[in-house]
């Protein structure tokens, strides 16, 4: 748990302009009153079961495991959730908070569009007005999700400033929130941002780890040897990891976007590259910035991981050594994407393929009686255009 100031060790906090302080205090209060409220939790669980389609299966990727010749790989199928990613767990939770707050409008930032789609979806369901900020570069590379959001009734606002990616979308969403703070609920898509967002986003996604833990005991007969999940901001990873934190025998791997390689500087891997601490978007964390404190440009084949910071709780797990943070390069990610698609008939999101790339490295070094659970955080439909382009195919 974060401390009273929303800090995980030295990380986290609430570094925002004064105008937003009251909204965050409000949110903290509302969430504190609901976090242990059985009625709220029952409503959340009901929606997860009947709207999202939970629990998601824990699937044994037997053919791929055999081909790799080592540990057994299990996939936590968040890609089977309604809207196709783990993101919907959090937006369902925050939409309930928005409803309790009585705000008629929600906003969100999105990279690959999964969080935007999940937000537009819950907004449609609850009849809320919805604006989604998205970097102009991401609007271009994620056209399919942009159209999905528009069909759902959301307005997608391309952001032309800065690097035109996820961090700039978050800047713009924060600007909107400052301006419309009275009637707008900001649904943040990851375990970053000012307190209490890192806490509540983790709580809403922890259903992934709770299910995976129970399913492992049922299907494997014991806890897995390792968990692997991709880390941009880190919400799917924290969701999987959190319920296992006390299980010391379970190793954990957070896989960041290595881009062209951590040594090239063209990546989005603040933890595994050893980026310094810094403050951005309301929290202190590992942050890719230059010597003068300007936030660095990032690169990843996957729009959803293309972010220079990381959730503050991950920063703490890195320092205390509970989670191992590594990076997967674009090339390895694409290879894992193709392999899983061919061998298991499951097309993963490029984000999730980062975790698969790490599993592909680990599995052969392990015994066939060992088990790895990989969080398949989202499905790959949205990334078909990106992969097709690399294959020289135009639609």
Partner 1 sequence: MNRIDQRFSELKQQGRRALIPFITAGDPAPRYTVGFMHALVEAGADVIELGVPFSDPMADGPVIQKACERALAAGTRLVDLLDMVAEFRRTDSATPVVLMGYLNPIERIGYEAFARRAAEVGVDGVLTVDMPPEEADELAPLLKANGVAAIFLVAPTTSRQRAAAICAQGDGYLYYVSLKGVTGSATLNAEDVAEHLAPLRELTDLPLCVGFGIRDGATAAEVARVADGVIAGSALVNRIADNATTPEAVPGALKAVLGDMRRAMDAATAPDLADAPR
Q: Which of 28, 76, 87, 313 is catalytic?
A: 87
Q: Which is nearer to partner 1, 24 or 387 (CB)?
A: 24
Instruction: Check binding of 315 to partner 1 (CB under 8 A).
Output: no
* Helix axes of 207-219 and 197-205: crossing angle, nearest 10 degrees: 30
Nearer to partner 1, 296 or 353 (CB): 296
Question: Least distance from C-beta 25 to partner 1, angstroms?
Answer: 8
Instruction: Tell me the backbone φ, ψ of residue 249, rounded to 5 degrees.
Output: -75, -10
Query: Closer to partner 1 at the Cβ: 5 or 222?
Result: 5
User: What are the tokens at 213?
Assistant: 């833990």
Choice between 166 and 301, CB closer to partner 1:
166
Choose the stretch contacting partner 1; rule: CB under 8 A; options: 39-47, 147-155, 160-168, 234-242.
Answer: 160-168
Asked if 21 is part of the footprint of partner 1 (rule: CB under 8 A), the reply reads yes
The verdict on 13 binding partner 1 (CB under 8 A) reads yes
- Residue 106 contacts residue 119 (beta carbons within 8 Å): yes
| Active-site residue, 29 included | no
Phi, psi dihedrals of residue 295, rounded to the nearest 5°: -70, 135
Which of 38, 39, 102, 182 is close enough to bind partner 1 by CB under 8 A?
Answer: 182
Question: Which of 28-36, 87-95, 162-170, 262-270 is the region at the interface with partner 1 (rule: CB under 8 A)?
Answer: 162-170
For the purposes of burial, counting CB atoms within 10 Å of the CB of 208, is it exposed (0-12), middle (13-18) or buried (19 or more)?
Answer: buried
- Choosing from 54, 76, 164, 167, the residue that interacts with partner 1 (CB under 8 A) is 167
Considering only residues 270 to 289 of the shown chain, the ones binding partner 1 according to CB under 8 A are 276-282, 287, 289
The least CB distance from residue 129 to partner 1, in Å, is 18
Should residue 292 be labelled a site residue for partner 1 when binding is judged by CB under 8 A?
yes
Residue that is written with structure tokens 């044994």 in the block: 60
Place of tokens 């890609």: 79
Decide: is 165 part of the binding site for partner 1 (CB under 8 A).
Answer: no
Q: Do 70 and 56 touch, CB atoms closer than 8 A? A: no
> How many residues are present in the chain?
395
- By CB under 8 A, is residue 218 in contact with partner 1? no
Q: Is 391 exposed, middle or buried (0-12, 13-18, 19+ CB in 10 A)?
A: exposed
Is 179 a residue that touches partner 1 (CB under 8 A)? Answer: yes
The Cα–Cα gap between 289 and 326 comes to 19
Instruction: Answer for the pair 349, 60: CB distance below 8 angstroms, yes or no.
Output: no
Is residue 62 annotated as part of the catalytic site, yes or no?
no
- Chain mean position to CA 75: 16
- For 303, list phi and psi in degrees, rounded to 5: -60, -30
- Within 8 A by CB and 6+ apart from 178, the residues are 17, 19, 20
Instruction: Indicate the residue among 53 and 293 with the shorter CB distance to partner 1.
Output: 293
Residues that bind partner 1 (CB under 8 A): 5, 13-23, 25, 161-162, 167-168, 171, 174-175, 178-182, 276-282, 287, 289, 291-295
Q: Annotated catalytic sites, by residue?
A: 87, 109, 377
């Amino acid at each position: 748990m974060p401390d009273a100031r929303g800090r995980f060790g030295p990380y986290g906090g609430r570094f925002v302009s004064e105008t937003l302080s009251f909204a965050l205090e409000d949110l903290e209060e509302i969430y504190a009153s609901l976090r242990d409220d059985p009625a709220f939790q029952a409503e959340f669980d009901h929606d997860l079961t009947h709207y999202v389609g939970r629990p998601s299966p824990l699937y044994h990727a037997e053919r791929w495991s055999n081909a790799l010749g080592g540990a057994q790989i299990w996939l936590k199928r968040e890609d089977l959730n309604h809207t196709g990613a783990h993101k919907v767990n959090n937006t369902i939770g925050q939409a309930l908070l928005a409803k309790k707050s009585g705000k008629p409008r929600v906003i969100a930032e999105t990279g690959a569009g999964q969080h935007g789609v999940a937000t537009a979806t819950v907004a449609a369901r609850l009849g809320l007005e919805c604006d989604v900020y998205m970097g102009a570069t991401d609007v271009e590379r994620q056209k399919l999700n942009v159209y999905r959001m528009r069909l759902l009734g959301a307005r997608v606002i391309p952001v032309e400033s800065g690097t035109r990616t996820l961090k700039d979308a978050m800047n713009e969403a924060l600007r909107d929130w400052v301006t419309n703070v009275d009637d707008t609920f900001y649904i943040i898509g990851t375990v970053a941002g000012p307190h209490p967002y890192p806490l509540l986003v983790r709580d809403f996604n922890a259903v992934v780890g709770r299910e995976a833990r129970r399913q492992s005991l049922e299907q494997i007969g014991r806890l897995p040897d390792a968990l692997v999940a991709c880390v941009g901001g880190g919400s799917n990873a924290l969701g999987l990891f959190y319920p296992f934190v006390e299980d010391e025998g379970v190793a954990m791997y957070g896989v960041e976007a290595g881009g062209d390689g951590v040594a090239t500087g063209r990546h989005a891997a603040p933890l595994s590259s050893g980026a310094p601490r810094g403050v951005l978007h309301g929290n202190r964390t590992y942050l890719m910035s230059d010597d003068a404190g300007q936030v660095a440009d990032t690169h990843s084949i996957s729009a959803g991981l293309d972010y220079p910071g990381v959730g503050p709780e991950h920063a703490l797990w890195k320092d205390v050594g509970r989670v191992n943070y590594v990076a997967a390069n674009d090339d390895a990610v694409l290879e894992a994407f193709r392999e899983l698609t061919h061998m298991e008939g499951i097309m993963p999101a490029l984000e999730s393929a980062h975790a698969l790339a790490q599993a592909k490295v680990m599995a052969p070094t392990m015994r066939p009686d060992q088990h790895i659970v990989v969080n398949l955080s989202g499905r790959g439909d949205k990334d078909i255009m990106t992969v097709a382009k690399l294959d020289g195919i135009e639609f």
